[in-house]
Amino acid sequence: MYTGIFNVAKNEAGLAAILGHEVTHALARHGAERVSQGYLAQGGVLVGSLVGAGFGIDPQITQLAGGALAQYGVILPYSRAHESEADHIGLLLAADAGYDPHEAVHVWERMEQVSKNQPPEFLSTHPGHGTRIKQLEGWMPEAMTHYHAQPGMQVAELPLEPLH
């Protein structure tokens, strides 16, 4: 984790939301799933190329078409699903740890403010900021069942760096 994320996290509760998200990727073995999906996609493109060649279609065309189909029809949607799963479980982990889960929504509101030139969601590995905020708000009733405010617990502000 780089301290630059402190500007988005702002405080311990925001950092807990971010860390919960990242820990979830490891717990859910998203990296291993992506490797497996990559192998399956490559295999599918190869099979498609062979079938296309049997019908006299240029293998380069079938590889390009199959690659695009795999990327936009399988890999990117699964990646966005992994990100949403990490947001959901990370929200619950932060709440279980005693951090107000509402701060996760504020993290993504701040992320939206500092992010420039985001690609359309369907071209991205991540859900759009607005999608994430809506999902977090939808999961909030569940997260609040995990959250138990600790009397006297104060959430510390993080040291912020100047934005460039």
Residues identified as active-site: 22
Closest CA to 39 of 72, 65, 74: 74
**CA angle, 26 as apex, 6 and 114 as ends, to 5°?**
30
Spatial distance between the Cα atoms of 132 and 140, rounded to a whole number of angstroms: 12
Tokens of 131: 């999608």
Distance CA 163, CA 150 (A): 33
Residue of 44, 11, 34, 55 lying closest to 154 (CA atoms):
11
CB 14 within 8 A of CB 107: yes
